[in-house]
């Protein structure tokens, strides 16, 4: 029996390696999403000295963009650097897996941690957005690292680790504030644990680190004269934006088959079926952990606290994803690793339960696991290969043609990638998706075009539908068609 186990583990490890490389290939080569380029545009504008919130519209904190600036300043603002940034995000993805593995091994055991890796890599939601240039992909590794440090701190009673854990959680919220509710859950549960176990000092050390990153951010923007604008944009405007999105994608959309971009194939594929498999196994895993906690409810140990935290965070994230108005696939990134974790809990539970009953049943279940993994893995690898073939040639050519036509570093409206904005809405932000209250605060488009003497205007019929009548009259009066089919040039 041990020999069979070792052989199956060895074969599964080999297949997992191929799965890793196919996921990275898919993530790096898949076409650039407009949101990724929009985030890249924020890097460009900040690097060129534009002030977030006061000179252009942004609803994110700048930490993710500061993180990228050294690379772009070294290699330049071009598609080659964007490709390198995708490789950097792939590195962050691997780091996230390592942090997650160590955390799961520390709290849930080595077997669950070993199951976790392939379970996560098989998830098409993770592969689709886990390598993209998004603040989510910096926020999640930091959040998991915070959990890892907290788990070590609770076991070792380390003052340094308690403080570092709080500091890293705070940094994760600074990257993307939508993780704040999950961090609040952790703080509340840790406070209860500390009170019951008379370890309030540990909690205060943990809590004392939270304000530090935010204080530095507030001081920076206070010195720049933009503290009010920072608060307004990342809290109030962010909420307004979600309420104004024109084409809202229901969360159920991602659970339908026939999505080549997501699954790499059409029809009822195993890639599509895996979504339902991992959700079902994760739900069962959560129930098993809750049942185990109930049995040992009198012992509120460090391990129990962390298990309660992971369950609570998983539940909060699930409720949020399935109730938020506009859902995008990157919203699943903080949740997907927890689904893989609790799916691993389910699989290990079944394996250990059968092992206690019969050795033949144990071997049979191992074989079932192995066959299922091979089938899902090859389907996933095939899908990843297909997605890697959905390249960027058309996207790159479109932008390079525009750059070649636009003389110098001229501002444009709507904002073109790696060019200054003629109006505070930057590349990737469609005017029809922005709340009217925000637009009123920025003022009239034609006033910006006149003040900056914006030379280039991109015109398309869809944009035209959402422009004010006075803006249309201004553009008609001051701009003429050019040799570029999509660009109007100022005539005065």
Q: Mean of the pLDDT values across residues 331-354?
A: 95
Q: What does the pLDDT look like over 381-433, one tens digit per residue?
A: 999 999 999 989 999 999 999 999 998 889 999 999 999 999 999 999 999 88
- Scanning 209-301, the segments in alpha helix (DSSP H) are 211-224, 227-231, 238-244, 260-263, 270-295
pLDDT averaged over every residue in the chain: 93
CA atoms within 13 A on the CB side of 67: 20
Q: Mean of the pLDDT values across residues 267-273?
A: 92
Q: Is residue 2 predicted with pLDDT exceeding 70?
A: no
Q: What does the pLDDT look like over 283-318, one tens digit per residue?
A: 999 999 999 888 776 777 888 999 999 999 999 999
Kindly give the pairing relationship between strand 456-458 and strand 479-481.
Answer: unpaired
223/461: higher pLDDT: 223
Domain ranges of the chain: 2-388, 410-490
pLDDT at residue 157, as a whole number: 85
* Tokens 């409206």 found at: 413
Q: Mean of the pLDDT values across residues 361-370?
A: 89
Q: Is residue 354 predicted with pLDDT exceeding 60?
A: yes
pLDDT at residue 407, as a whole number: 82
275/250: higher pLDDT: 275
Q: Mean of the pLDDT values across residues 139-157?
A: 95
Q: Mean of the pLDDT values across residues 442-464?
A: 94
Mean pLDDT check: name the lowest of 1-5, 132-136, 178-182, 248-252. 1-5
Q: Is residue 101 predicted with pLDDT exceeding 70?
A: yes
pLDDT at residue 150, as a whole number: 97
Q: What does the pLDDT look like over 198-215, one tens digit per residue?
A: 899 999 999 999 999 999
Which residues are 458's β-sheet partners?
A: 487
Q: Report angle CA 143, 333, 65 to the nearest 5 degrees.
A: 65
Q: Mean of the pLDDT values across residues 357-376?
A: 89
Can you read off the two tokens belonging to residue 271? 């890639």
pTM above 0.85, yes or no: yes
Kindly give the pairing relationship between strand 456-458 and strand 412-413.
Answer: parallel
């Amino acid at each position: 029996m041990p020999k069979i186990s070792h052989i199956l583990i060895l074969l599964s490890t080999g297949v997992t390696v191929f799965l890793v490389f196919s996921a990275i290939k898919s993530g790096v080569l898949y076409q650039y999403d407009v949101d990724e380029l929009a985030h890249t545009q924020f890097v460009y504008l900040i690097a060129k000295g534009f002030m977030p919130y006061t000179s252009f519209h942004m609803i994110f904190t700048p930490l993710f963009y500061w993180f990228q600036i050294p690379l772009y300043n070294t290699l330049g603002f071009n598609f080659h650097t964007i490709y390198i940034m995708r490789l950097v995000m792939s590195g962050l993805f691997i780091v996230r897996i390592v942090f997650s593995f160590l955390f799961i091994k520390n709290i849930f055991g080595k077997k669950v941690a070993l199951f976790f890796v392939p379970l996560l890599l098989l998830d098409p939601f993770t592969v689709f957005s886990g390598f993209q240039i998004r603040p989510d992909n910096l926020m999640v590794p930091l959040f998991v690292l915070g959990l890892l440090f907290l788990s070590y701190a609770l076991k070792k009673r380390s003052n340094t680790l308690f403080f570092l854990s709080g500091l890293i959680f705070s940094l994760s919220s600074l990257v993307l504030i939508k993780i704040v509710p999950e961090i609040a859950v952790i703080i509340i549960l840790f406070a209860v644990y500390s009170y019951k176990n008379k370890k309030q000092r540990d909690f205060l050390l943990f809590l004392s680190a939270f304000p530090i990153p935010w204080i530095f951010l507030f001081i920076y923007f206070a010195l720049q004269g933009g503290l009010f604008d920072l608060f307004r944009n990342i809290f109030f405007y962010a909420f307004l934006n979600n309420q104004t999105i024109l084409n809202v994608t229901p969360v159920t959309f991602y659970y339908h088959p026939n999505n080549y971009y997501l699954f790499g194939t059409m029809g009822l594929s195993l890639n599509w079926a895996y979504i339902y498999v991992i959700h079902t196994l994760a739900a069962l895993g959560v129930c098993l952990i809750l049942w185990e906690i109930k049995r040992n409810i009198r012992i509120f140990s460090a391990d129990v606290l962390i298990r309660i935290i992971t369950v609570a965070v998983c539940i909060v994230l699930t409720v949020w994803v399935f109730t938020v108005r506009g859902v995008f696939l990157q919203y699943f990134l903080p949740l997907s690793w927890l689904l893989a974790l609790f799916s691993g809990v389910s699989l290990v539970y079944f394996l250990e339960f059968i092992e206690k009953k019969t050795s033949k049943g144990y071997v049979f279940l191992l074989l079932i696991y192995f066959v299922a993994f091979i089938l899902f893995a090859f389907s996933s690898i095939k899908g990843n290969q297909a997605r890697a073939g959905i390249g960027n040639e058309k996207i790159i050519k479109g932008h390079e043609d525009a750059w070649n036509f636009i003389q110098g570093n001229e501002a444009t409206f709507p904002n073109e990638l790696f060019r200054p904005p003629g109006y505070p809405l930057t590349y990737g932000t469609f005017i029809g998706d922005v709340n009217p209250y925000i637009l009123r605060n920025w003022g009239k488009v034609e006033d910006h075009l006149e003040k900056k003497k914006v030379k280039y205007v991109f015109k398309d019929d869809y944009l035209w539908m959402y422009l004010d009548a006075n803006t249309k009259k201004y553009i008609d009066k001051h701009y003429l068609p050019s040799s570029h089919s999509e660009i109007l040039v100022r005539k005065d």
